[in-house]
Amino acid sequence: MKENEYTNRFTLCNVRIVLEDRIEEGSVVIANGLIERIDVGSKAESGADRSVIDGEGGYVLPGFIDMHVHGGFGADFMDASRDSYDKITGFHAANGTTTMLATTMTAPKSSIEAVLEAAAEYRSAGMPYAALHGVHLEGPFISEKWPGAQNPAYILNPQLSWMQEWAERWPGLISQLTLAPEKEGSVETIAWTSQNGIVTACGHTDALYTEIEAAADAGLSQAVHTYNAMRGLHHREPGTLGAVLTDNRIHAELIADGHHVHPVAIRLLVAAKPADKVILITDAMSAAGMPDGQYELGALPVIVKDGVARLAEGKALAGSSLTMIGAFRFMLEHTDLTIPQISRMASGNAARQLRIDDRTGSIAIGKQADLVLTDADLNVRRTWVQGRTVFARKE
């Protein structure tokens, strides 16, 4: 059985369909890259115009949307090459991701521009695996006090003129900007980026509670890798974390791998935030999908041991080797959340932040067939982007 690119018509039958608020057993009909029909309780049969894929009782989920990912399978988005982008998007598609943001590092302006150009070319030339929706600029407008695995040599105050220049050169490409709101020029930059459709996030920041609130007033709407590389919670100064936990204008990214955030802190986050305000991300680096060893992140040496990436000097966590399906399973094991609730955190919430929820992020008639088929244990069997197979596990 083969599906023809974008003109296919087939049915996923005998599946547990993960909708936004429930799970239904039945089948999903895909036609021309879109979800044509959802049949609850039905048993599809082969026909002259339709192929049937038996899900064998597994789950069909909306494809995962990763807003914060640096690389995978030995490649980094900072490589700014099509070969690297194929490796990254192919690896993450095999783990259920259908949409992602190419995330940069704190680097010279020319290096960031190389990524913007490469991402624009990659999107225009056709993407064989997970789709690059845009670029997430993580820095260089961050705090010297909280560099994490970012290269401190290139940290700057926000440069609004750069953002305006890049938006003019690559219209609609920049989807997210991460900065430290306490830095000079931040509020002005936040106001401009948010007004121009760019998700603006705090991260690598030493901001006080009042500084985050002022940033949210200006349009800040997200926090990157919550708990990590930010001023923590103190009972007399709630800090960045206190604002993120209590201000529901702010979406909270979460690396759910058990290394970046303790399970108890994860449960605290999901108890504090509304279910539609938590966004699972991987923050994966090039070592994702690769064996332990020596790697680089932002031109800094990284050592990966037992799947945990740390800077060779200072031992700070340096991205992750996480996949979205791995984060999904971790949340299911370590919280009381249901599969539909976790699915929203892995897909729907990011889709709404990126303003693409009209076409992806959930399973609904008329939306793109960006789907993941898993077995009963949530191991990925197959991934589709707009109804086109981008990964199929060898059975």
Residues 157 and 88 reside in one and the same domain: yes
Q: Write out pLDDT tens, residues 12-24.
A: 999 999 999 999 9
**45 pLDDT tier (thresholds 50, 70, 90):** low
In a domain, 3, yes or no: no
Quick one: pLDDT at residue 299? 81
Which residue range(s) make up the domain with 27? 9-61+362-392
In a domain, 1, yes or no: no
* Polymer length of the chain: 395
CA distance 319 to 285: 6
CA distance 324 to 67: 11
Distance of alpha carbon 57 from the chain centroid:
27
Residues 347-386: b if buried by 16+ CB within 10 A, e if exposed: bbbbbbbbebbeebbbbeeebbbbbbbbeeebebbbbbbb
Quick one: pLDDT at residue 318? 87
| DSSP classification of residue 345 | I
Look at residue 91 and tell me whether its pLDDT is greater than 70: yes
CA distance 238 to 255: 22
Residues 264 and 224 reside in one and the same domain: yes
In a domain, 243, yes or no: yes
Residues 315 and 265 reside in one and the same domain: yes
Can you give the C-alpha Rg of the chain in angstroms?
20
Domain CATH number, residue 39: 2.30.40.10
Other C-beta atoms closer than 10 Å to the C-beta of 195 total 11
Q: Write out pLDDT tens, residues 235-277.
A: 999 999 999 999 999 999 999 999 999 999 999 999 999 999 9
Query: How many domains does the chain contain in total?
Result: 2
Look at residue 49 and tell me whether its pLDDT is greater than 80: no
Catalytic residue among 66, 79, 247, 283: 283
Domain CATH number, residue 118: 3.20.20.140
φ and ψ at 227, to 5 degrees?
85, -35
Let me know: does 216 contact 190? Beta carbons within 8 Å. Answer: no
Q: Write out pLDDT tens, residues 105-144.
A: 999 999 999 999 999 999 999 899 999 999 999 999 999 9
| Angle (CA) 259 100 272, round 5° | 50
| DSSP classification of residue 320 | B
Q: Which pair of structure tokens corresponds to residue 79?
A: 């490589």
In a domain, 201, yes or no: yes
In a domain, 4, yes or no: no
Residue 283 known to be catalytic: yes
In a domain, 156, yes or no: yes
In a domain, 86, yes or no: yes
- Environment class of 124 (CB within 10 Å of its CB; exposed 0-12, middle 13-18, buried 19+): exposed
Let me know: does 64 contact 96? Beta carbons within 8 Å. Answer: yes
Residues 103 and 42 reside in one and the same domain: no
